[in-house]
Amino acid sequence: MPNNQDIASKLKEVFQLMQLAGENRFKAIAFDKAAQTIDGLNDDINEYIDNKTLTDIKGIGKSIAEDIYVYAETGTMPVLEAFREKIPPGLLKWTQISGLGPKNILKIHETFGITETEELKELIDNGELAKLPGLGGKSAEKIQKSIEWMEKYDERCRLDEATKIADDIFASLKDLEGVQQIEVAGSLRRAKETIGDIDILIGANEKHIPDLFDVFTSHGRVTEVLGKGDTKSSVRTVEGRQVDLRIVKPKNFAAALMYFTGSKEHNVEMRSRARDRGMSLNEYGLYKLEENGETNWNAPQNFETESDIYKMLDLNFVPPELREDRGEFEIFENQEILDLVTDEDIRGVIHAHSTWSDGKFSIREMAEACMERGYEYLGLTDHSQTAAYAGGLKPDEVKRQWDEIDELNDEFKSTGKNFVIFKGIESDILADGSLDYKDDILEGFDFVIASVHQSLEMPEKQMMERFRNAIKNPYTRIIGHPTGRLLLKREESKIDLNELVALAAEHNTAIEINANPRRLDLDWKFGNKAKEVGMMTSINPDAHTIDGIDLTTYGVKIARKGKYEKERVLNTKSAEEVVKFFKMR
């Protein structure tokens, strides 16, 4: 019986293959939209399949519903198989290469008859790719860099990808007999933006270990068992990720959780603090040291939680996201808590797109989706005119969009809905740092997010001047995804982020934390600088779909990791407070 994610992945593959086959764009988008809808569905899709009510789900039409019914019944999806016969499997991998869209992929394949990445690299090396009409030397160089970047980080995955795998396996284990404690550990618990192996830790008595490992190694996601021992088992999932499950005695759980959460640097400092206090800290617990400096295994210190261990080392509890040895010890030696932002603190969505540009849902649909999630406002920011490839808005379209927003706000107010849509724009920052409209248009927006989308490889000196001019522009209220990076796919632009953060704070301009897991930009590593200068951020999903709104949670994780307190996050504030910030130009 297929699950939601299984069906969503099949529909997503149809979308990708249709693009490569040059099929009608809107027909392809319908599959993408259906995939996203099903992936984010709270209910089990099999209930809809059994009752033949798939078309009751918004975004699933009769044709796609029939494809799903056939797949559920036979295990194959004819539309998918048909496109798989048309498109060689190696070309799907190419869709991950930055600078190589579906049209060029098809053109390269048809011109040279190649399907593998190694063959593509040879074309670049011998100069043949650069000769292809519509590409050229710069494009070939960009594609080469993207391939190098992909190969370098192929063993890692994004935070959202790791989270889905871990949540699924965690759910299958947490209620089993014998499980007294269970947590995800490692870099995923620390909310790193990319993840290698996934670590899960269980506290259970020895008699339950074999059964727990049997359930783990036979999970539906597991494609290979890498190892199965007395206290640790490792598997490879269908996504290619390694997942390690460790089982420890319940009395050792807190120490093991601290140890396997890491980071290595944080653990080194913790062990040093323990030794300075006559103790030894390891994955089994906290023990007194003998006079010769050896661990006295017969003198364990009593604790129940990680917090107890921190207290015994004269520290307050350090949230897992901060355990990177980047100033957390100085903070938690002196204060009990840091009021880090939480998912529950977010009161509205800022940075979202609609069908006016490259979004897939109308303004009304995006607003209603925000209301369903309990948010109080939507900052709509479609693309500006220079971004023609993304349906950027011409001045006359901007004014028509404003009229639609006014009508919706009037309707919401008259029907007693406590919700407002702000008139925003994601304005391209042009090469000289200017914004994408004349002042008479800019002054009509409630706020402007200024972002770089083109000439990302500009030299640092010019790029910094570009950003300086944008930040100093009185209409700029937020800088969007400042480095332009795409995690595991495209490197960041060369800019001095410390200077940028300080300049933004000086001009009372926020720099967003783009919550899309492909970006997670501004990088959390610059959180210390942002805290030092009091820079405001906004945790923005950059939502192009309704499901995209829910990406906000990944931005919250990165904000916490960057030490952002609730008070320095714009969209934790009320609509009235947000308006005040917008007006403080």
3-state helix, strand, coil in the chain (%, to 5): 50, 15, 35
Q: Pairing mode, if any, of strands 157-158 and 194-195?
A: antiparallel
Read off the pTM: 0.80
Closest to 216 in 3D by CA, of 204, 239, 203, 232: 232
Cβ contact 45:4 at 8 Å? yes
CATH fold of the domain at 157-248: Beta Polymerase; domain 2 (3.30.460)
Whether 152 shows a pLDDT value over 70: the answer reads: no
Spatial distance between the Cα atoms of 216 and 472, rounded to a whole number of angstroms: 55
Spatial distance between the Cα atoms of 471 and 449, rounded to a whole number of angstroms: 10
- For range 354-364, the mean pLDDT: 96
Closest to 539 in 3D by CA, of 470, 478, 491, 497: 478
Identify the pLDDT of residue 186: 98
Mean pLDDT taken over the chain: 93
Query: Of the CATH numbers 3.30.210.10, 2.120.10.30, 3.90.1150.10, 1.10.150.300, which one belongs to the domain with range 254-334?
Result: 3.30.210.10
CA dihedral (400, 406, 411, 417) positive or negative: positive
Spatial distance between the Cα atoms of 231 and 248, rounded to a whole number of angstroms: 7
Q: How confident is the model at residue 153 (pLDDT cuts 50, 70, 90)?
A: low
Identify the pLDDT of residue 3: 73
Cβ contact 199:244 at 8 Å? yes
Structure confidence by residue, pLDDT tens digits, 536-563: 999 999 999 999 999 999 999 999 999 9
Closest to 94 in 3D by CA, of 133, 136, 129: 129
Highest average pLDDT, of 154-158, 272-276, 453-457, comes from 272-276
Whether 387 shows a pLDDT value over 80: the answer reads: yes
Amino acid at the residue 216: F
Lowest-confidence range among 119-128, 344-353, 357-366, 445-454?
A: 119-128
SS3 state at 401: helix
Highest average pLDDT, of 97-106, 147-156, 335-344, comes from 335-344
Q: How confident is the model at residue 41 (pLDDT cuts 50, 70, 90)?
A: low
CB-count burial class (<10 Å; 0-12, 13-18, 19+) for 307: middle
For residue 132, give both structure tokens: 């292809």
Structure confidence by residue, pLDDT tens digits, 167-184: 999 999 999 999 999 999
CATH tag, 343-583: 3.20.20.140
Whether 1 shows a pLDDT value over 80: the answer reads: no
Helices (H) and strands (E) in the chain, counts: 24, 18
Whether 45 shows a pLDDT value over 90: the answer reads: no
Cβ contact 325:269 at 8 Å? yes
393 DSSP assignment: B
Whether 524 shows a pLDDT value over 70: the answer reads: yes
Q: Do domains 4-152 and 157-248 have the same CATH topology?
A: no
Spatial distance between the Cα atoms of 38 and 45, rounded to a whole number of angstroms: 7
Q: How confident is the model at residue 201 (pLDDT cuts 50, 70, 90)?
A: very high
β-strand partners of 450? 427, 479
For residue 277, give both structure tokens: 């206090």
| Structure-model confidence comparison of residues 488 and 270, the more confident one | 270
- Which uninterrupted H or E stretch holds 352? strand 348-352
Cβ contact 261:253 at 8 Å? no
Amino acid at the residue 289: L
Spatial distance between the Cα atoms of 290 and 98, rounded to a whole number of angstroms: 58
- For range 510-525, the mean pLDDT: 97
Cβ contact 99:454 at 8 Å? no
Structure confidence by residue, pLDDT tens digits, 237-290: 988 889 999 999 999 999 999 999 999 999 999 999 999 999 999 999 999 999
Whether 40 shows a pLDDT value over 70: the answer reads: no
Spatial distance between the Cα atoms of 512 and 247, rounded to a whole number of angstroms: 40
In CATH, what class is 4-152? mainly alpha
SS3 labels along 457-509 = CCCHHHHHHHHHHHHHCCCEEEECCCCCCECCCECCCCCCHHHHHHHHHHCCC
For residue 165, give both structure tokens: 């795998």
Identify the pLDDT of residue 482: 97
Cβ contact 475:445 at 8 Å? yes
For residue 163, give both structure tokens: 């989270």
The domains of the chain are located at 4-152, 157-248, 254-334, 343-583
Strand 198-203: give its sheet, edge to edge: 181-185, 198-203, 242-248, 232-237, 222-228
| Structure-model confidence comparison of residues 373 and 141, the more confident one | 373
Spatial distance between the Cα atoms of 438 and 396, rounded to a whole number of angstroms: 13
For residue 319, give both structure tokens: 């949230």
Spatial distance between the Cα atoms of 175 and 425, rounded to a whole number of angstroms: 47
Share of the chain above pLDDT 70, in %: 98
Cβ contact 481:500 at 8 Å? no
Spatial distance between the Cα atoms of 16 and 31, rounded to a whole number of angstroms: 9
Whether 5 shows a pLDDT value over 80: the answer reads: no
Share of the chain above pLDDT 90, in %: 74
